[in-house]
Structure formats: C-alpha cells, structure tokens
Amino acid sequence: MKEILQYLFNQNTLSRSEAQSILTEIAQNKFNTAEVTAFITVFLMRNITLEELEGFRQALLRMALPVNLDCNDALDIVGTGGDGKNTINISTLASFIIAGAGQKVTKHGNYGASTITGSSNVMEELGYQFKNNSEDLSRDLEKANLCFIHAPLFHPALQSVGELRKSLGLRTFFNLLGPLVNPSKPQFSIIGVYNLEIARIYQYLLQQDQRDFAIVHGLDGYDEISLTSDTKIITKNTEEIFTTQDLGFNAILPESIQGGNTPQESAQIFRNILEGKGTDSQNSVVLANAAVALHHTHKFGDYQQCFYLAKESLESKKALACLQNLIK
C-alpha cells in the first residue's frame, strides 16, 4: 500500500484494473486502518476519475453475493448521500409510494456514514429485519411490492470499511459506489447526486449499461429533487432542467424538509408521512421524487398521471400498507 499511496500522492490516478485490484484487497482486509484511511483521504483531496470509479464498481460487483429475484422490471431510487443537507429520508419514502402505486422496487441502502440517518438506520428503527438471501427478499417483494437490500450483507468491501466510514463522518468515494452496485441489478435506476461533476461521471459510466437510468441533481446542492430550487435530470437520451412549477409544485424552504437529529426522530417523521400526517412540504417532496421515478419507467402514462398515482398511493395509505406488510 505504501507504493500505491506514494503514487497517488504524486498526483497520479489509477487505471481501471488497478482500482479494481486495490478495492478487492481492501475488502480482504490486507491493509491496516491507517493505510485504508490514507487511501480514502486521497479521494477527499481530489475528484475520482471515471476509470477509478469503474474499477471500484467492478470490484464490488464481482465480490457481491448474488441476488436473484423473479422480477425483470424492478426500480431502485437512491441518492449518493453526502450532500450535507440532513433531509428527511426522501428516496426511501418515495420507494414505498412507488411500490404502493404498483411498481416493484428493489431498494438498495446502507447505514448513514456522512449523515445522521441512512436508509438502513430508518428501516431498522421501523422494525425491519434485514434479509441476507434471495429467497427472503423475493418473499418481501411479493408481499410488499418492495424489498430492502442492506448493502453490507451483500458487499464484503462495504462491511469491512463500515466502521471506518462512520468514524470519519465524511463523504467518501464509497458514497458514489452505493447507487451503482445494487446486486439485484434493477432495470430502472433513479440516482440522486450532489454535484454536476459527479453527474457527468455517472452519465458516462451508466451509458454503457443495458439498463435505464435517470440522474437527478438539485441545483442548490441536493442529491434528489428537493423542490427548494430547480432540478437537472439526465437520462440516456435527454438532459433537462425542471423548475418546481414544471413538476407541479410550489418552491419550498430547506428547513421544511429537515430530517430528525436521531434515527428515532427520523423514523417517526417517516411513519408520520406515510400515515398521512406529513406537512405539505414533506408530502410534496416525496411525491415529486416518486412521480418522476414512475414516469421514468414509461409504464404509467405521462408525468401528470404518474403524479396522481403517487398521490393516490400516499393518500389511500397504499404506501403505508407496503411498509406494514414488509415489517410483519
């Protein structure tokens, strides 16, 4: 590792194969904590390259435990995290609204490393028992139209660096990998990113996949549609900026979608929203993200129809029923 670090400290970058090899060795615990910390720190000092991200992604996917689900049109909606905004768990809430509207969701998530409450924290707090095999995940998908894939159970590398990431409390390149390595390989991926440079790298990488994607970036720094400002959405064939009015909403204030200060508070906010006790701002932001995701599948009509489906899923408690069925 010393040679690798010296090479990187001299402002060199890794090839795809080098990145893949190093992350594989990190997962195999071949380096001590200080060495891994120094390696991660390199990517806090500069942006990751496309080849490095490709190599890291390949390493995680090759080491991942396989997930085989009888579903060829599932969707995942996930953000990189690390935007420092401490919002409510928007993508996870939107996942249940999407499931309640009739779209199967294979949600990939993890504990928060640079945030207070990641999707796994809130799911655990709500009473969900993480599953570690395809059979249990398939049963969840059947009864709730959604299954939750807790990343460390399927990615040895993420498990091996989990404590280190938490102790650092900073956004690292692992934030960028999470949305790219869902082991169920959903047909549709809605991925939120915290800046446009990362959006470009994702765009180049995902263009090589057969599956469909939409990259979402709130132009004031959110890794999701926040409705606090305009949103850029990039797909395989389009790149557009949408105002809040374009999406059918009024602009909201950042403080109106703040998350809790503990996993317990976040889970209570989460449940309140699904139970119909959310504020207008909270409801608006999760509905916007759910509607865009539904529209991206091209299965539910135009955006307006997708919005009504999402709204009906939330207001009729179909989304809540998906959660209740999942944690039974």
Give the CATH number, domain containing residue 227: 3.40.1030.10
| Residues 43, 168 within the same domain | no
Is 69 contained in some domain?
A: no
CATH code for position 32 = 1.20.970.10
User: Domain boundary at 39, 63, 87, which?
Assistant: 63
Q: Sign of the C-alpha dihedral, residues 66, 67, 70, 72?
A: negative
CB 266 within 8 A of CB 89: yes
| Residues 295, 274 within the same domain | yes
pTM, two decimal places: 0.94
| Residues 86, 58 within the same domain | no
User: Domain boundary at 37, 63, 89, which?
Assistant: 63
Q: Residue 291 and residue 302: Cα distance in Å, rounded? A: 10
Helices (H), the chain: 2-9, 16-27, 33-45, 50-63, 90-100, 119-125, 134-144, 151-154, 156-160, 162-168, 173-177, 196-206, 263-274, 280-296, 303-315, 318-326
| Residues 130, 233 within the same domain | yes
CB 91 within 8 A of CB 304: no
Q: Residue 200 and residue 272: Cα distance in Å, rounded? A: 36
Torsion, CA 173, CA 174, CA 180, CA 184, rounded to 10: 170
| Residues 59, 79 within the same domain | no
Is 226 contained in some domain?
A: yes
Is 284 contained in some domain?
A: yes
Is 156 contained in some domain?
A: yes
Q: What is the pLDDT of residue 114?
A: 66
Helix (H/G/I), strand (E/B), else coil: 108: strand
User: Domain boundary at 31, 63, 95, which?
Assistant: 63
| CA distances (Å), origin 168, targets 40, 114, 266 | 10, 8, 22
Q: Give the number of domains in the chain.
A: 2
| Residues 150, 219 within the same domain | yes
Q: What is the pLDDT of residue 209?
A: 86
Helix (H/G/I), strand (E/B), else coil: 185: coil
| CA distances (Å), origin 90, targets 6, 38, 72, 121 | 40, 32, 25, 14
Is 68 contained in some domain?
A: no
Q: What is the pLDDT of residue 156?
A: 78
CB 108 within 8 A of CB 115: no
Is 162 contained in some domain?
A: yes
- Burial of residue 321 (CB within 10 Å: 0-12, 13-18, 19+) is middle
Is 70 contained in some domain?
A: no
| Residues 21, 138 within the same domain | no
| Residues 34, 97 within the same domain | no
Is 264 contained in some domain?
A: yes
| Residues 36, 130 within the same domain | no
> What is the full per-residue pLDDT of the chain (328 aa) written as tens digits?
899 999 999 999 999 999 999 999 988 889 888 998 999 999 989 889 999 999 999 999 999 999 999 899 999 999 887 778 889 999 999 999 999 999 999 999 998 866 778 899 999 999 999 999 999 999 999 999 999 999 999 987 777 777 777 777 777 888 888 899 999 999 999 999 998 999 999 999 999 888 999 999 999 999 999 999 999 999 999 999 999 999 999 999 999 999 999 999 999 999 999 999 999 999 999 999 999 999 999 999 999 999 999 999 999 999 999 999 999 8
**What range does the domain containing 44 cover?**
2-63
| Residues 87, 29 within the same domain | no
Q: Which residues contact 118 (CB under 8 A, 6 or more apart)?
A: 81, 109, 110, 111, 112
| Residues 174, 211 within the same domain | yes
| Residues 131, 30 within the same domain | no
Q: Residue 242 and residue 11: Cα distance in Å, rounded? A: 38
Q: Residue 299 and residue 237: Cα distance in Å, rounded? A: 17
Token pair of 24 as six digits: 């594989």
